[in-house]
Amino acid sequence: MKAAKKENVKVHGKKIQTLRVEPNTISEGVSRKGMAYFNVTTDVTRVPVRGVYKAPFGKVVGTLEKIEHPLGLYPLKEKQPE
């Protein structure tokens, strides 16, 4: 993996400062047709909040919904009024 750059990413309406990392996906004899990268938080936890794969047919994006932790639940979305 290589760290590419710092980015502010909007996740569920919140701007989060992240570090963009790109996995090394080159194999011998295989041409590279797509590109993938992940955004991880810049704090000590390095939580992956978004993953992007750019393929010849389009872009696929995955976004973190919530973090489950033994000490509690840390939602990234704002709580909805009941």
Cα–Cα distance for residue pair 51/82, rounded to 1 Å: 31
Question: Quick one: average pLDDT of 59-65?
Answer: 89
Q: Using pLDDT thresholds of 50, 70 and 90, give the confidence band for residue 38.
A: very high
22: buried, middle or exposed (CB in 10 Å: 19+, 13-18, 0-12)? middle
Question: Quick one: average pLDDT of 29-41?
Answer: 77
> 16 pLDDT exceeds 80?
yes
Q: Quote the mean pLDDT of the chain.
A: 78
